Structure 1
């Protein structure tokens, strides 16, 4: 899928034309997946462009590299300004996706990565709408398991980590599902390839814990806080695979997916086969917040213009 990329990208502190942002074939990240990335959304509400939870994204951006001693050689404030700046430079006045990433450059075939390894930072953006059908999607549990802290840190948003997501997605698509659900090494529900998962049972919102190899998702965190503010009961605990099939509602959360209802799991209808009331409430609250229509959460959005 070719992206409608912006005219300019931010590359190591400078704005350059997208076609000029090239790297050599000896780039370490191409060979070994030594890249760190974030996915960030910005929303145009007709008056301004608002970046959702920018500070949290920038903090996680740096933290992911620290797991592997990969240096981000710009300050948090420089990255923050660059993210806003790439939107301004491209005169972006529609809702968009922003992808900052940094990676090890020309480092040969050396696997001993240290803080001194050469790194590059790039930020690009493109217009973006719905990733999934907001009326609901199908999902199925795949045979591949989510990797755990026993092998590599699940909390690091590393390029190489997402090969696990790719092979899970391929299996789900072959099985006729829109999205995959991965189990952890103990056979409990972990997450989707690029999203966290929530189930609803008897009005209670439940999500797998971090110990189930679930990413500490920024949208996941937002939904937990929103639900608690609405006096809804929220629980983080292990979820057995069989519990998916008896859930009243299931939904996914993520920067790209936003809030996406799952209306069919492993070929079985969930609830009445439509987005449930709790899910729809979360979707509406989330939309109002990212569009800066809820003053109680205005600290979660950053104006670009």
Structure 2
């Protein structure tokens, strides 16, 4: 990542190196906080943030699920996001809003601690790996299982939930892969470390249901765009075998955008290259986020 000049913290724009969290801040120790990942794209009409309000509404909902409130409205956070992008003069960037419990008590009960909000921005290219948008990614089935539906609040994008995903991705990278694919407690394919997965089978898209997965905004975007193109999209439980016998596969997420998956556990998926339907979905997605397609103007918030 390339750091920016400034970060928004509790209504103040401060220099990047001055945005500090105290050692005894509650979230630092227990992971009790919520965050979002959002992208701003360079369009012909200037920088535009993709589905900003939906992301910030999910941030607020994540906090409600955990039992606290983000102390700023969605409208205030929209304005703050635009402010910090302008302050850094970015035409394109990644955006990380974070609501976290600050200093004031180290017990698990955090009533006396303030809720802080920060918004950082930086440049972030291809998340899964350089060249994977075109050439595809390689993944392994993780030795870690995706959280069971009753072990955490799976509809919250909570900081502590991501320790599992960080371990899974670190394991995969150390073994020479780009990404991990996690199975659920029953052995069904769940998701990548920070991505949803889609398969292409006989011209249709297949993706796991959201029973215990985070409601992905990019996932929903891809479903809408695919159906607009006349593609059938089905939500189904499936095993790792089903991935291996698919015609194509791809990951989606704010970071991953639409990244082909061409190999799983050293087994080729399809012909081992980005497939034609994956390419169609990619083109529709990038035309939308870069403002080249005018079919969904409500998804772009111009800076």
TM-score bin, normalised by smaller chain: over 0.9
| Equivalent residue in structure 1 for 2:107, among 102, 106, 110 | 110
CA distance in 1, matches of 2:71, 2:176: 44
- Describe the superposition over 1:17-45 as per-residue Cα deviations: whole angstroms up to 9, x where unpaired: 11221121110011000121100000012
Give the TM-score, by structure 2 length: 0.96
Runs of 4+ in 1 over 6 A off after TM superposition: none
Query: CA shift at 1:109, angstroms?
Result: 2.0
| Equivalent residue in structure 2 for 1:48, among 46, 49, 53 | 46
Instruction: Report the secondary structure of 1:122's partner residue.
Output: strand
Give the TM-score, by structure 1 length: 0.95
Aligned length: 299
Query: CA shift at 1:149, angstroms?
Result: 2.4
Q: Which residue of 2 aligns with 1:168?
A: 168
Instruction: Report the secondary structure of 1:260's partner residue.
Output: strand
Correspondence 1:71-220 to 2 at 5 A: 71-93=69-91, 95-114=92-111, 117-131=113-127, 132=129, 133-134=132-133, 135-211=135-211, 213-220=212-219
Query: CA shift at 1:148, angstroms?
Result: 2.5
Query: CA shift at 1:290, angstroms?
Result: 0.5
Query: CA shift at 1:278, angstroms?
Result: 0.8
The answer to whether the 8 A contact 1:70-1:117 is kept is no
Correspondence 1:250-269 to 2 at 5 A: 250-269=249-268
1:237 aligns with 2:250: no
- Describe the superposition over 1:38-72 as per-residue Cα deviations: whole angstroms up to 9, x where unpaired: 00000012540010001100100101111111221
CA distance in 2, matches of 1:189, 1:117: 39
| Equivalent residue in structure 1 for 2:55, among 37, 54, 57 | 57
Query: CA shift at 1:167, angstroms?
Result: 1.2
CA distance in 2, matches of 1:24, 1:47: 40
Query: CA shift at 1:171, angstroms?
Result: 2.1
The answer to whether the 8 A contact 2:105-2:113 is kept is no
The answer to whether the 8 A contact 1:227-1:233 is kept is yes
The answer to whether the 8 A contact 2:172-2:179 is kept is yes
- Describe the superposition over 1:189-246 as per-residue Cα deviations: whole angstroms up to 9, x where unpaired: 00000111111110110100112x3221100000001111111100011111211110
Query: CA shift at 1:128, angstroms?
Result: 2.3
Aligned Cα root-mean-square deviation (Å) = 1.2
The runs of 5 or more residues in structure 1 that have no matched partner are none
The answer to whether the 8 A contact 1:196-1:215 is kept is no
